[in-house]
Structure 1
Amino acid sequence: MNATVPNLLTGARLVAVPVVLWLLVADAGENGSLRVWALLVFLLAAATDYWDGYLARRWEVVSPFGKLADPIADKALVLFTLAGIVAVDGIPWWPLAVLAVREIGVTVGRLAVARDAVIPASRGGKLKTVLQLLALTAYLIPHPAAWIDAVAWWSLLAAVAVAVATGIHYSITIARVARAHGANPPPATPASAADDLPPHDGPR
């Protein structure tokens, strides 16, 4: 087996991001068929988040593209879909701002220490992802009942809380790795010249 199928799934998720956003904006809050399509495309894209990683690990074909593109696709799908919901439905913008700052900060931090250590996803990070997907799925449902709106809002708030907590944890971990390796930098040798290339970060 090769990495083609997992990478295609990751690429499909990246392609789905502007599609979901366009469908939301084109629907303009009318809760019509375009909103239904936005929900379906979002659910399919979210499903690829599980399958690309599962297949890559099962077939032992984790690739540099997958390690780089997979976390970018995950974050882009969540943040751009939430941005579309904020713009169209008028929900408060601050959860989007908090999540965006957290995701960018953690991603930059992981990249900064990627040469020295891979910072794995924590259980809290996985819980955050589940809460985000639950909130966005509920928000995308056309003409939702009041209780669905409540589930969406409280799931989003819970995702923000977990994001802040795990963001602090990741920041501490990244700072420790940076200090440890900064105090004892590896010697530069001609054989390690390839290490000067930008690292590929993150597990699938």
Structure 2
Amino acid sequence: MFISFEGIDGSGKSTQARLLADRLRADGHDVILTREPGGSEGAEQIRNLVLNGPTDRWSPQTELLLFNAARRDHLERLIWPALEDGKIVVCDRFADSTRAYQGSTRGERRKLVDDLHNLMIGVEPDMTVLVDIDPNTGHSRATERNTGDDRFEGFGSDFQVTMRQAFLDMADASPNRFQVIDGDGTIDEVSDRIYAAVTQRLAQNADA
């Protein structure tokens, strides 16, 4: 099963992806935890290019090409082999982030994003967990954490508002894939909501 985590910057999705992987391992599942951009050697090198530097370092078109190059390498070298081995892959961001960042918030290039995805990637996660929080809360958290991967956080809180709506619109359009989780509450409370939703989906898949 391929599970992706999505959400605006500061939503806590990275923490929640890690906690879910830990809980599924405790249940006896073989789990690979990975991230985008990144997850493979080549993709991690591209990550350093796109997530650092000034906001105008790359045009939206160049960003789109870089993200897809990283994703293709990630798929070939990590995700597909893990799934073929029967493992659960938990990925912090996937193609929906590109749809939101480069397709909906960086100049309305959604058709170009979708065309390139269909040509070069062509797969979707089995389940996407969308951790939904207030954009102002997310932006405040993101700017305070100072991880170094902060290029997109520099676009400001209005950017986060637009991105959140883009994610919610995608969830409405693909309700069978998306599970929207309320990100308000303690880390453990949010983790429990996600774990309940994912284990229910795993059980459904096992019965199918």
Same fold (TM over 0.5): no
Structure with higher RCO (Cα < 8 A, 6+ apart): 2
Larger Rg: 1
With normalisation by structure 2, the TM-score equals 0.31
With normalisation by structure 1, the TM-score equals 0.31
